[in-house]
């Protein structure tokens, strides 16, 4: 991707200046010229989100500039206590995407917020979308990575290289051609997830996938939680008991930490500008 720094010019600089201004950091005149005032505004923004304040708009800074604004009584400080071994910046950066995805999927009640957070803790304790690791369950000794997935008809895979193309990704480890196809359509991306599976690790897309997956299992999850069955709720998402200890620990911590009722506010970003900048779209499940 393009890296913007002092002296750059053009429409991408204009978009960055507009986003800085919306975030409360004055870049000076919105003119598409990356001058000293814009650099100072960018450095102040970087400090505010815990990034290195080098005044260069690299991938992490650009992603942070596109974070949705989601006022909520579920705060990063609270969620950090549910993720005690996770870097605070990861929680602060990704939580707004997760909350926005849940809100747009109408899963903003306490039980489903806890379910989402506990699922992330079980699947990717670092609170960031990740690729599935190579393991004996997906790779035979001495074989190509994820080769055991290649011909999994239950995943909709049709042979090599489907195993590696459609390995687990995201907050919820979406796996298999059929799931990429189904969830991609559910969140309004059509065939884009199949054509570009790495999109599943984009923070916005990963949050929408998580929300859509939980929505598809919501009735069963609620029944399991009402009966006090955390293992049963976990199984509905994972199909087994992988990560169950972390899931249970996160859910139980959240029971006392997450407020009831949960209040996830309205996204204050200007929709037209957000779309133009490639920011979040609403879940359309």
Residue 110: which pLDDT band, with cuts at 50, 70 and 90?
A: very high
Q: Mean of the pLDDT values across residues 206-232?
A: 94
How far, CA to CA in Å, does 263 sit from each of 100, 107, 145?
11, 11, 43
Q: At what angle do helices 203-216 and 177-186 cross, to 10 degrees?
A: 90
The CATH class that applies to domain 131-201 reads: alpha beta
Element (H, E) at 36: helix 36-48
> What would the pLDDT profile of 118-169 be if each residue is shown by its tens digit?
999 999 999 988 999 999 999 999 999 999 999 999 999 999 999 999 999 9
Task: Give the E-state strand segments of 122-280 in sequence order.
Answer: 130-131, 169-170
* Encoded tokens for 106: 């109408």
Enumerate the CATH 1.10.101.10 domain ranges in the chain, comma separated: 11-65
Residue 63: which pLDDT band, with cuts at 50, 70 and 90?
A: confident
- pLDDT at residue 263 tops 70: yes
Neighbouring CB atoms inside 10 A of 215's CB total 19
The pLDDT of residue 87 is 86
Secondary structure of residue 222 in the 3-state scheme? helix
Enumerate the CATH 3.30.20 domain ranges in the chain, comma separated: 131-201
The CATH class that applies to domain 11-65 reads: mainly alpha
Neighbouring CB atoms inside 10 A of 222's CB total 15
**Whole-number Å distance between alpha carbons of 122 and 81:** 15
Secondary structure of residue 264 in the 3-state scheme? strand
The pLDDT of residue 239 is 81
Residue 132 DSSP class: P
């Amino acid at each position: 991707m393009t890296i913007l720094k002092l002296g750059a010019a053009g429409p991408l600089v204009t978009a960055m200046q507009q986003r800085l201004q919306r975030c409360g950091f004055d870049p000076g005149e919105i003119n598409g010229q990356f001058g000293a005032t814009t650099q100072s505004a960018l450095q102040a923004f970087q400090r505010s989100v815990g990034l290195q304040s080098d005044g260069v708009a690299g991938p992490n800074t650009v992603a942070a500039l596109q974070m949705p604004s989601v006022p909520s009584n579920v705060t990063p400080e609270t969620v950090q206590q549910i993720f005690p071994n996770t870097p605070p910046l990861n929680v602060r950066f990704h939580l707004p995407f997760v909350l926005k995805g849940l809100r747009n999927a109408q899963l903003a009640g306490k039980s489903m917020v806890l379910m989402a957070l506990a699922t992330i803790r079980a699947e990717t304790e670092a609170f960031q979308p990740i690729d599935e690791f190579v393991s004996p369950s997906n790779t035979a000794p001495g074989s190509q990575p994820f080769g055991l997935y290649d011909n999994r008809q239950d995943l909709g895979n049709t042979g090599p290289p489907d195993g590696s193309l459609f390995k687990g990704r995201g907050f919820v480890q979406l796996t298999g051609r059929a799931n990429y196809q189904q969830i991609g359509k559910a969140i309004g991306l059509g065939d884009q997830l199949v054509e570009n599976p790495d999109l599943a690790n984009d923070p916005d897309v990963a949050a929408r996938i998580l929300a859509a997956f939980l929505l598809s299992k919501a009735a069963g999850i609620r029944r399991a939680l009402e009966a006090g069955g955390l293992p049963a709720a976990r199984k509905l998402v994972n199909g087994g008991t992988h990560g169950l200890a972390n899931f249970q620990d996160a859910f139980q911590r959240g029971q006392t930490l997450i407020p009831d009722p949960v209040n996830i506010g309205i996204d204050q970003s200007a929709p037209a500008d957000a779309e133009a900048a490639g920011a979040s779209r609403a879940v359309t499940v």
